[in-house]
Amino acid sequence: MKVFFDSLYFDDEQTTYLKCTKTSSEYREKGNEAYASRNDHLALTFYNQAIRYAPSYSRELSLAYGNRSAALFNLKHYHLA
């Protein structure tokens, strides 16, 4: 469960991520595959990566947040969704 919570929050000391729509989209698609397989923990990890790489105010960022919310809902973490 620690990995789950660590992947939700971004530490200022972590590596700076270059924003890239393509990379974000690839992570989101991997998350969608995991989500379709009912592997919500793995999907959550991929959606968090998609959020990290998504450019600010982009469609990719909105989609990644929406998908992450669905995975959190399935995991019954309603207060985080």
What residues make up the domain containing 46? Answer: 19-74
Q: How much is the mean pLDDT over the chain?
A: 87
Measured between its terminal Cα atoms, the distance across the chain in Å is: 16
What does R_g of the chain's alpha carbons equal in angstroms?
Answer: 12
**Count of the separate structural domains present in the chain:** 1
Confidence (pTM): 0.80
For the cut 60, the answer to whether the pLDDT of residue 9 exceeds it is: no
Higher pLDDT, 53 or 2: 53
Higher pLDDT among residues 8 and 32, named by residue: 32
32 within some domain? yes
